[in-house]
Amino acid sequence: MKTILFIGGYGSQGGKAETLRQKKGWNVLTLLPDYDRGLTQWVVAAAKILANNPVDEIHASSTGSLVACRFPHKKVLYSPVIDPFRQLREPLFSKKFLREAYVIEHCKPCTLIIPENDEVLFNDITLAFCRKNNIEPIISPNDDHRLTRYFGNL
C-alpha cells in the first residue's frame, strides 16, 4: 500500500487527503498547518513525520507546497503557491507567514496539477515555474483553485 504525507493549504480541512484515502486506498498521513502561525514550524512538523514514517510521496495543496518542496521526496503539488509574495490575487497571509515564506525555484521530482483557470493564483507564474523546471503540468479543465472537478473524478 502506498503511503503519502499530505500537507494541506491555507485553511485546509483535509478533504483532499480524505479523498485520496478513500478513492485511492492509500495510507495518508495528514498535516493541516495553520499558516497564520508561520511556516517554519510546519517544515519542522513535516520533517518529524517523515523521520518517523516511511513515505512514498509527499502530496501538497496550495500553500502546503512551500513545505513539501523543502524535502527530497517525490512530490505531487495541487494548485501550488510558487511565489507567495506576488502570486495571490488578494492579500491572504499573515505578516508572520510572509516573513518565513520563500519563492519556490526548484522542486524535483515533482508533478503539478493545476486548474485551467485559477481564481486565487496567477497561472502564468506557475507555468513559468514549470517551464524552468521542465515539468509538464496536468491541467484540470474548467476547474477551480481547489481542484473540485479533479478530485471529484478520482
Tens of pLDDT, residues 31-47: 999 999 999 999 999 99
Q: Which segment of 89-93, 109-113, 137-141 scores lowest on mean pLDDT?
A: 89-93
* Fold (topology level) of 3-152: Rossmann fold (3.40.50)
Interatomic CA distance for residues 99 and 112, integer angstroms: 25
Q: How far is CA 110 from the centre of its chain?
A: 11
pLDDT at residue number 86: 85
Interatomic CA distance for residues 61 and 78, integer angstroms: 5
pLDDT at residue number 60: 98
Interatomic CA distance for residues 31 and 4, integer angstroms: 11
pTM attached to this predicted model: 0.95
pLDDT at residue number 93: 85
Amino acid at residue number 94: S
